[in-house]
Amino acid sequence: MGELSGIAIGVTAERRAGEFIAALERSGAQVRHAPTITIVPLDADPQLRTGTEAVLAAPVGCTVVTTGAGFRGWLDAAEGWGLRERLLDHLGESRIFARGPKAVGAVRGAGLREAFSAESESNAELFGAVAAAGVAGERVAVQLHGTPLPEHTALLVEAGASLVEVQPYRWYTPPDVRPVHDLIDAAVAGELDALAFTSAPAAANFLTLARSYSRYDELLAAMQGPLVVACVGPVTAAPLEEAGVKTLQPERQRLGALVKLLVTTLSARQ
């Protein structure tokens, strides 16, 4: 019997879902899995290749790395196109700004070195530092993850930069949304003890699908009630917090820390 025996948790992740679910099940949880997004395969993404070729078309003054997984995925895709070494050489000539230790790890793992790392692991600190570094007249390569960030990239445009955005892990709504509808029904019916989110796009699209399913208000009421809503970090939590949902977040933005938070919180409630 695990610490989460008798506890039902809804998981919306697609990427690394198996690892996350296995960790929860080892603690005894009953997991209901309904991915709310489907990620476009990197090496088959024509937009990513077009963006990569645009980066390579001219010198880049700064490179912004928002996620370690996204940066590694970008390089992996470039390797499949025979562009990895050329891309690394190109980015190595620029000042590299990274969002936190995971992004730094990916940069250094590729043999590059960052000029700046955001201690808070926030996009606000990251893009603020790039804008303050002086980018007027420069081309700036921005590696996004899952979704555009106009509220942050606008700072760079205002500072006079010319942006080249590449977006590994673009996503779309799953072709079959019935599992998501079933998860929404379970949350509204009180059949879940918690919902867990590991990416902002998955959280945002969960709310979007609830709205198109005409159960948005009921779901919001459930998420604002006894249902525990846990997110891996503040970026993931943002779409939910904006909708008025209070979320729990671990101190470290890691899957393992999120599992521990769920175990501690939910076992204490039993």
d(CA 40, CA 43): 9
- Sequence-distant (6+) residues with CB within 8 A of 28 are 1, 2, 3, 4, 5, 6, 7
Query: Is 261 strand, coil or helix?
Result: helix
End-to-end Cα distance, the chain: 14
On whether both 143 and 57 belong to a single domain, the answer is: yes
**pLDDT greater at residue 119 or residue 141:** 141
In this structure, are residues 170 and 148 in contact, taking their beta carbons and an 8 Å threshold? no
pLDDT band at 261 (very low <50, low <70, confident <90, very high): very high
Question: What average pLDDT does range 115-144 have in this prediction?
Answer: 94
148-180 tens-digit pLDDT: 889 999 999 999 999 999 988 778 899 999 999
For the CA atoms of 242, 248, 253, 258, the dihedral, rounded to the nearest 10 degrees, stands at: -140
139-152 tens-digit pLDDT: 999 999 867 889 99
On whether both 212 and 160 belong to a single domain, the answer is: no
On whether both 64 and 139 belong to a single domain, the answer is: yes
Tokens of 76: 């992996």
Tell whether 238 is covered by a domain. Answer: yes
Mean pLDDT across the chain, nearest whole number?
A: 92
Task: Give the end of a domain, one of 145, 166, 187.
Answer: 166
**pLDDT greater at residue 268 or residue 212:** 212
d(CA 8, CA 196): 11
Q: Is pLDDT above 80 for 197?
A: yes
On whether both 122 and 152 belong to a single domain, the answer is: yes
**pLDDT, position 270:** 62
d(CA 17, CA 229): 17
C-alpha 103: how far from its chain's center? 12
* Boundaries of domain holding 128: 42-166
Q: Is pLDDT above 70 for 63?
A: yes
On whether both 79 and 142 belong to a single domain, the answer is: yes
Tell whether 2 is covered by a domain. Answer: no
d(CA 133, CA 37): 35
pLDDT band at 235 (very low <50, low <70, confident <90, very high): confident
Tokens of 141: 């390569």
On whether both 52 and 161 belong to a single domain, the answer is: yes
Task: Give the end of a domain, one of 138, 166, 194.
Answer: 166
**pLDDT, position 59:** 96
On whether both 67 and 109 belong to a single domain, the answer is: yes
d(CA 187, CA 204): 16
Looking at the DSSP bridge assignments, the partners of residue 142 are 64, 165
Total number of domains constituting the chain: 2
CATH code at 151?
Answer: 3.40.50.10090
Provide the percentage of residues in the chain whose pLDDT is more than 70: 99
